[in-house]
Every structure is written in C-alpha cells, then in structure tokens.
Structure 1
Amino acid sequence: MRASVAIENFLEMMSAERGAADNTLESYRRDLESVAETLAARGINLPEAKADDIRHALDGMAAQDFAASSQARCLSALRQFFRFLYAEGFRQDDPTGVIDTPKKQKPLPRILSVDHVTRLLDRAALEANEAAEADEHLKAVRLHALLETLYATGMRVSELVGLPASVVRTDHRFLIIRGKGAKERMVPLSQKARDALQRYLQLRDAMPGADENPWLFPALSESGHLARQVFARELKGLAARAGLNTASVSPHVLRHAFASHLLQNGADLRTVQQLLGHSDISTTQIYTHVLEERLHKLVSEHHPLAD
C-alpha cells in the first residue's frame, strides 16, 4: 500500500470512528507526510518501515533542532498510524513499539540573585515608609508584607494571597499553610516578615468592613481576597522602580529564589521539599543544579589537589 493511500485511510478512520478534531487530523497529516517524505528519499515506503527507519526519521528531526515535544508528537502520530495498519491486517507488527519517546528537558527555573531580591525588598520597604497618601500607603505596606512573606516562606502565590487573617493573630513565628490537596505544612517566618506583617495588619484592621472579611489580604474581588494577577502586576511595577528587568521578576520566580538561596546556603533537598509543599521529591529536583554548583565550589575550595 502506498504511503499516501495508507495515510488517507488512517485519517478517515480517525475522523469517522474516533471523532478526531480537524486540527488533530491536520497535525497527524503533517507529521505522517513529513516522515513518509523523509523515508521515501531513502527508498522506503512508510507503511513498510522498520523500527530503525522510524528512528532515523526522528533522529533527522533532532538534527534539525526540532524540540523533543515535536518529536514526541510525531512519534505519537506514528504509533496511532501503525496500530491502525496492524488492526486492519496490513502489518503483522508495530515498529514503534520498541521506540522510546524523546524526553523533554526540564528547563531550569529562573531565579533572582540575592542582590536582586535585596534590592526588591529594600525598595518595597522604602516605599512603605515614604508613601504619604492613605491609599498608596496601604498598598505599599501591603506589597512590602507580601514580598517579605513570600521570600521568607517560598509559598505559592495562591497560598499567599489566600491566607486567612487568623494565621497572624497569635504567635506567628510559624505559618500554617494549606496547600494543594488541602495538605497543611508549617513554615517559619523571618523577623523581617513578622514585622512587615504586623505593620500591615494594623492598617488592614482599620479598613472599613475588615472585621467581616476573613482574608489577610482582603479585596473587592470574587474571591474576597487579593487576586494573584494584581499582586503580580504590583510586583512588576516595583521591579521596574528598583531598576530590575521586569521580565525576570514574578511571584513564582521569588518562590524559586527562596528554594535556590536555601540550597546555596547549605539546606538539604528534603527540607526544601517540605517547605515548598512538594508531594514528590522529583518536583524539587529541578534545583539539583544549585546543589551541583555548591558541591563543585566546595571541592574546588577545600580539596587538597584542587587547582
């Protein structure tokens, strides 16, 4: 069977029997026709291809700098195609069954240096002290409290803006955070974060209707508390005023900075996992590059044979 006929039959089956969307069918067509063309240049008919032929085609994609996700998508289309040929009796095997899916490389998390975080926090503190107008003063003090708390705890931005006011009513050297899956974890608070929260709490409690709102950071929103997008926007503005690249600053980047700076200063991966609220250590392992850098520096500085 010619490749073009096999591809058309496969697409017709995907449309009629599985109700595949037009975009999905077009994606399958592009990937299958591309591989068919690559194999035809070597005198190989796609429906008759062997596992090594498929690997050759995928290697060609890699050589052209196609992303691993693109290669994986193409292989997925090929798997469906050859399963169809097997089910219809056109083949006695599936050559894609022994081919591993190309692995996506996890990008390293963007982080801020300690110096850049310090500049952010110093700018937030300066604006909290200098803002004269009542509304601006409240927003500046709130932003300072948000930043100090986020960098001190590394909590998710959704956890931060959704903190209940009750968590800081008592001895708040520690915060109890309710994270994903309603799981609770305890994280310590720095003295600077405690001071910034107490200062903000005094202003918050003086707000009209504050007693009726259970959230630490109340707002006129559907949820009743500060929206993540509002915090992110205010943080970008602060970064610009602090002379930092706004594209490199976000609440999630500060969470990464918290974790990376802990590891740089001697914390172990398990501790960071618990503080971040990761259920699986593999999620925390995106920070292993920090550990590798620390170990390399340790050996370079202390090994007797190091240059």
Structure 2
Amino acid sequence: MVRDTAVSQVVAAYLDHLTVERGTARNTLDGYTRDLRRYTAFLEGNGVPELGGVGPEHITAFGVALREGDSEHRPLAQSSSARALVAVRGLHRFAHAEGITEHDPSRDVRPPAPAKRLPKALPLADVLRLLDMPAAEGERALRDRALLELLYSTGARISEAVGLDLDDIDESERTVLLDGKGGRQRLVPFGRPALAALDAYLVRARPALAAKGRGTSAVFLNARGGRLSRQSAWQVLKTTAELAGISSSVSPHTLRHSFATHLLEGGADVRVVQELLGHASVTTTQVYTLITVNTLREVYATAHPRALG
C-alpha cells in the first residue's frame, strides 16, 4: 500500500539502503548525506514535509537554488549541483520502488551535464622532485617517502593507501591489493623505487611508530601509532609539494592523475590504465587521453616549422 512518509525518514531509509545493500563508498555516502539534508530543509521550507507531495517543479526549483545559493548556502559549482540532483533522483527512485510514493517526480528532471574538466597532472620533473624531498632518515620522513612513492607508483587514491594493511603488500611480487570504490579490489604492481622506500620504512621506522600505539595492522602509522588518516596523508602531500617548490595547484589526486597521464604518454593502453586506476568504466579513464592530446598539440605548435602556417 502506498504511503506518504516524512522526507527525513525516507532519506534515512535510503542512506541505510546505500550502506547495507549497495555497499556505497564512505565518501559518496557523506556527500549524499549533505545533499539530501539540504534537500529536506528546502522541501520543508517550501511547505512539503512529505515525499509524496513533491512534484517535478520542486526538484527543478531545488536545482536552481543550488546554483544560485541562498541566505544560508553559497552557490554550488555545476559539478556539485549535478551531484546533489543525482542524490535526489536516487532518493525518489528508491521511494517509488519501495512503494513509499506512487510516482517518481524526478523521472523527467535531468541534472545539468557537468563541464568536462581535465585532471591536473604534474610534469615528471616535478614528480621526481616531490618524491626526493622527504629526508632519508627519521620515522616520519621515511613514512612520508614511502607513502608518496606508493601513491605515484600505483595510482592509488589517498584513502586506498591509508587503508592498506601489512598483508595487502607483497614485496616479493611487488604488488599491492587496493580496496577501491564500491568494495571493488584490484591488484596493482609497483616499481623498485617504491619497494625500496617501503622496505626502508617498514624496517627502520614503522616498528618505532607501532610501539607508541595499541597494535594495528595498518601500513602507514601516525605519530601515536594509529592508522594514518586521509586528511593527514593529504597534508603530507601538500606540505612536501610546498617544500619542493611546486607552484601549481596540488590536490589529493595529484599523484594519481600524474600516474595515469604519464602511463598514457608512455604508450600504455587506456584499458590497462582503467584497470590500474580501478575505474568501473573506461569512459572515466578516457578523460586522461585529452591531456595527452593537448600535450601533443602544444609540442606540435612550438616545434613544427609549419605549425602556424
């Protein structure tokens, strides 16, 4: 029997569904939670406390509010507002499928297509300078060098790197088992410089860090002997980039983007890079091919004698 239910209750049920039945990644859940909390407040502010009372016009108005902002919220970028509308559409599809609402008002509402932005990748010289920056001695320095080498050598997300346990690394085979989005695992090889940095850290630094904690299987440890957080790992990258004198913007994905771009520039097949990155679709990976094409254009324009003719 169809029933109208408070928006907040349906949102809670939908998030539980994503967590338990869909295995949605933590970061995605956090984003959906924020988006749907804002959607709930928007509906209540417009006199719509029950999900069954929502029409397409409410969803369209919410999209406008996301892009224009209001007294409590700044305007969102196109990509962020599109993600919020994806969360809203998912909520309504769930409610309709579960018989909570009679209709899905979001069916004909399409989020704006986000502009295709190229990921930022560092030139190889900058990456090498970054990787050489941490000192060769000291517990944190050895940890930071191993972390950065592994990030660039495997293309791992920062969250995947800090989530590594000791059993996930096979030094004899030079492979690492990464837990990606949606619970998907992948086995990725890594190079000899990363192996040397990991070995130095695991032998000469990790035992001292581990002695300060209560015992954990995490590979990368903080100063208290616990698992290094994603935020702390991101700070390691940011601080090291500043020390290396890298002026271009550095993000948590900088080494991942550089890994993919440098592989493709070196002749790697896009589907191989897809597997290494853990992308569910090759379409996601193909954005990196745009970077290499742009690089080729730049080289052509500056090097070919008739490029401007």
- TM normalised by structure 2 equals 0.60
* Aligned 1:224-263 pairs, distance under 5 A: 224-245=226-247, 248-263=249-264
Matched residue SS, 1:175: strand
In the alignment, the residues of structure 2 paired with residue 216 and residue 197 of structure 1 have an alpha-carbon distance, to the nearest angstrom, of 9
In the alignment, the residues of structure 2 paired with residue 121 and residue 218 of structure 1 have an alpha-carbon distance, to the nearest angstrom, of 19
Aligned partner (choices 99, 115, 122) of residue 112 of structure 1: 122
Which of the pair is proportionally richer in helix?
1
Aligned to 1:28: 61
Which consecutive residues of structure 2, in runs of 5 or more, have no partner in the other structure? Answer: 1-42, 66-76, 84-106
Indicate the percent of aligned positions where both proteins have the same amino acid: 40
Report how far residue 257 of structure 1 moved.
Answer: 0.6
Aligned to 1:214: 217
AA at the equivalent of 1:251: P
Matched residue SS, 1:155: coil
Aligned to 2:136: 128
What CA deviation, in whole Å up to 9, does each residue of 1:275-295 have, x standing for no partner? 001111121122121342466
Matched residue SS, 1:248: coil
> Is 1:205–1:211's contact at 8 Å kept on the other side of the alignment?
no
AA at the equivalent of 2:229: A
In the alignment, the residues of structure 1 paired with residue 155 and residue 184 of structure 2 have an alpha-carbon distance, to the nearest angstrom, of 16
Matched residue SS, 2:177: strand
The count of residues paired between Structure 1 and Structure 2 equals 228
Compute the RMSD of aligned alpha carbons. Answer: 4.3
Report how far residue 297 of structure 1 moved.
Answer: 8.1
Matched residue SS, 1:256: helix
Matched residue SS, 1:104: coil
Matched residue SS, 1:213: coil
In the alignment, the residues of structure 2 paired with residue 193 and residue 219 of structure 1 have an alpha-carbon distance, to the nearest angstrom, of 20
Which consecutive residues of structure 1, in runs of 5 or more, have no partner in the other structure? Answer: 1-10, 33-66, 74-96, 130-136
Matched residue SS, 1:249: coil
Report how far residue 165 of structure 1 moved.
Answer: 1.2
AA at the equivalent of 2:216: N
Aligned to 2:274: 273
**In the alignment, structure 1 residue 150 sits paired with structure 2 residue 183:** no
Matched residue SS, 1:112: coil
> Is 1:176–1:185's contact at 8 Å kept on the other side of the alignment?
yes
* Aligned 1:37-48 pairs, distance under 5 A: none
Specify the structure having the higher radius of gyration (Cα): 1
Q: Which moved more, 1:205-214 or 1:263-272?
A: 205-214
In the alignment, the residues of structure 2 paired with residue 30 and residue 158 of structure 1 have an alpha-carbon distance, to the nearest angstrom, of 30
What CA deviation, in whole Å up to 9, does each residue of 1:101-158 have, x standing for no partner? 653212111111111111101212xx224xxxxxxx1000000000001000001111
- TM normalised by structure 1 equals 0.60
The verdict on how the C-alpha distance between 1:166 and 1:211 changes in structure 2, with shifts beyond 3 A counting, is farther
